[in-house]
């Protein structure tokens, strides 16, 4: 952190001239005004104090990003959002048909069953949620170009209600699975499960909505020199 203050003022001036002074991240809570130098490739990954590697960020976003990498600047995070009854069905099928052997999968249900839990209590669910977040946090800062497949029912928690916004800001590959309310409703075995289905559909998540927001974000990333246009980005699989 301390080295951030020693960036050559001429480099900083050139960064602002080239990429603008507005915060490049736009994470939830962003103040928009870039007051700090943010390294696209973090110091810890060997990122340099150069114009191509620095963008201006607000204090809030700089702190809240930590060393999480932009999609493809290290790990490639694939976030699969599915209603509760689909996590062990469609979400698993989707991942199995897209992942390469050995790609890590971070799934609440798989973690719960690895812990030997059958119908986890609230305390047990919290422990699984911590394991999920811990794995996500580590993969999200990985400098290795690995594909990581994360499954969640909701893109947010009470403490982090705007997770989806963070994923879009960091240009993760977000895939929404929705088999339809009727199918999910049928799958729900009891009132508690039906309540979860109703809550999921109240979020009004859709792939169209995510895609529209991602298109907007990617246009901004192109303007910031962090992406070429889509046709020139073969690293991202098409689906
Ligand atoms: Zn910001």
The pLDDT tens digits for 107-118 are: 999 999 999 999
Q: Is residue 56 part of a domain?
A: yes
- Ligand 1 (single-atom ion) residues, CB below 5 Å: 23, 25, 30, 58, 61
The angle subtended at Cα 79 by Cα 107 and Cα 48, nearest 5°, is: 115
Residue 90 lies in domain: 76-216
Q: pLDDT-based confidence at 156, cuts 50/70/90? A: confident
**C-alpha 34 to ligand 1 mean position (Å):** 7
Asked if residue 98 and residue 208 are part of one domain, the reply reads yes
Length of the chain: 239
Burial 43-59 (b: 16+ CB within 10 A, else e): eebebebebebbbbbbe
**C-alpha 147 to ligand 1 mean position (Å):** 26
Asked if residue 200 and residue 84 are part of one domain, the reply reads yes
Backbone angles phi, psi at 203, to 5 degrees: -75, -20
Q: Work out how many domains the chain is built from and give that number.
A: 2
Contact (CB, 8 A) for 98 and 198: no
Q: pLDDT-based confidence at 157, cuts 50/70/90? A: confident
Does the pLDDT of residue 239 top 70, yes or no?
no
């Amino acid at each position: 952190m301390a080295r951030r203050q020693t960036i050559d003022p001429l480099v900083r001036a050139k960064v602002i001239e080239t990429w603008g002074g507005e915060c490049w991240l736009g994470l939830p809570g962003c103040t928009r005004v870039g007051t700090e130098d943010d390294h696209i490739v973090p110091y810890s990954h060997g990122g340099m104090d150069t114009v191509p590697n620095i963008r201006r960020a607000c204090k809030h976003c700089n702190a809240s990003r930590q060393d999480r990498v932009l999609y493809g600047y290290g790990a490639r995070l694939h976030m699969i959002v599915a209603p509760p009854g689909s996590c062990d069905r469609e979400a698993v099928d989707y991942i199995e048909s897209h992942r390469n052997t050995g790609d890590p999968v971070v799934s609440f249900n798989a973690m719960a069953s690895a812990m030997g839990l059958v119908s986890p209590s609230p305390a047990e669910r919290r422990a699984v949620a911590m394991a999920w977040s811990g794995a996500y946090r580590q993969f999200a800062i990985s400098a290795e170009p690995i594909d990581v497949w994360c499954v969640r029912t909701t893109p947010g928690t009470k403490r982090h209600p705007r997770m989806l916004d963070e994923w879009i800001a960091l240009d993760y590959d977000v895939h929404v699975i929705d088999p339809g309310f009727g199918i999910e409703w049928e799958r729900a075995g009891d009132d508690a499960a039906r309540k979860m289905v109703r809550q999921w559909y109240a979020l009004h998540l859709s792939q169209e909505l995510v895609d529209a927001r991602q298109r907007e974000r990617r246009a901004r990333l192109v303007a910031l020199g962090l992406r070429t246009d889509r046709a020139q980005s073969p690293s991202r699989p098409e689906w």
